[in-house]
Amino acid sequence: MEKSALLYLVLLPLSFAPWLISSTFWGHVAVVLFFYLALPLVISRALGFSREEVGLNQPGREGLKLFLILFVLSIPLSIYGATIPSMRNYYPVFHYSSLTTFLLGELGMGLIMLAHEAFYRGFLLFLLARKNEWLAIILQDVPYTIVHLGKPGIEVPYAFVAGIIFAKMDLKGKSFLPSFLLHWLGSAFFDLLCASSFAVP
């Protein structure tokens, strides 16, 4: 078995580990960082892969260009999404009582997004994509979509489509950082909409 396939098979069960461990918001941040970033990095290095080979790399200009375009295009979708009661009632997922605690919550979300994108669009994607790009995209997208089950229903198909778009963007940019920026900044903007008076019908 090729080492790239072995890495995928070893890491795949880790997709579901954070969702099987009940914890506080900051506890969840720590769990996700461990299972999605720290442990995969150790395993991939043990198998002989460099950070660059798994997408832990400075993004190219093409990836950053796509990030900016997609972020602008996501704004009207976010504005619409904030009018959906199930979404508005679910987000933000952290407790806040002031601007400071809101910003701290978004920092925690940034760490979660960093780990998510490193895992799905980095460790599970880049090595397999060298052999078969579309197969690699689907193989990272299926578990990514599954872990969105239990969230507002509209998120499941949205996550599936987003997982494909994120993967294509990162492969073009040779780094998972463009999808991290898009995921985090898009999420923060959406949280702000949901927390603001804008979201009240």
Please state, in angstroms and rounded to a whole number, the distance separating the CA atoms of residues 176 and 88: 28
The model's confidence at residue 196, banded by pLDDT at 50, 70 and 90, is: confident
Which single residue is written with the structure tokens 């940034």?
110
Contact between 191 and 168 under an 8 Å Cβ cutoff? The reply is: no
Structure tokens at 172: 């073009």
Position 110, amino acid: G
- What are the boundaries of each domain within the chain? 3-199
> Tens digits of per-residue pLDDT, 52-65?
999 999 998 999 99
What count of other Cβ atoms lies within 10 Å of the Cβ of residue 157?
11
The model's confidence at residue 178, banded by pLDDT at 50, 70 and 90, is: very high
